[in-house]
Amino acid sequence: MIFPCIDLLDGKVVQLVQGRDKALEGEPPLEMLRRFAAFPEIQVIDLNAAMGTGSNSDLVRLAAEHARVRVGGGVRTVERARELVAQGAHKIIVGTAAFAADGINAAFLSDLAAAIGRDRVIIALDSKHGRIVVKGWRETTPFTAEEVLAALAPYCAGFLCTYVDKEGMLAGTDLDWFRRLRAATPLEITAAGGITTLDDVRALLAMHVHAALGMAVYTGRLSLADLAQLLDSK
């Protein structure tokens, strides 16, 4: 699968570099949804909710009304996850709340899976310099993605694994890391961060890893027509 990304910040569609600096603004959400109509599912991240600086709930609801969406950003309570499901989200992406100081937050994840269904839960393993980062990529944990995959598996349908080191930089991604992750779990893996070329996307799909695409699409480095054709050929 290929998931075009819609990242929301202060009511606008944006792309950030490594989760910090705004590099560009996209078209309004409805126009982006129209452009992404050939793809079966869209990834929507509420950056304000992730950073604790508000939310874009109306735009998340709008996206869910017009497309099948997986939604993340600020999912730190079961109530927040339920709200997103009620707004129409097909799957929920949880990152920060999946972890505690000493490991995974099993109590929260168990409650979350019970509340909305394990099949709706995607756990984000955003990694920088080899370690998982949380709270809008502003805090580093002691854990690596490889270390926690098995322990997290009972609570989710799959993982969103972002190579933060190259996020938004159009400098390629770490295919070897994704190969190691793919070998470590039978669950769905979606790759993000630095995916720049059709060869990157082909390599990921060949290893049965989904691709979530942002900056390369918004800057035109990757053609939506070429991506749709690649998806149709699978």
**Residues with catalytic roles:** 7, 126
Q: Which two tokens stand for residue 60?
A: 């998340």
> What CA–CA distance (Å, rounded) separates 171 from 83?
36
> What CA–CA distance (Å, rounded) separates 120 from 149?
17
Q: Which two tokens stand for residue 29?
A: 């959400």
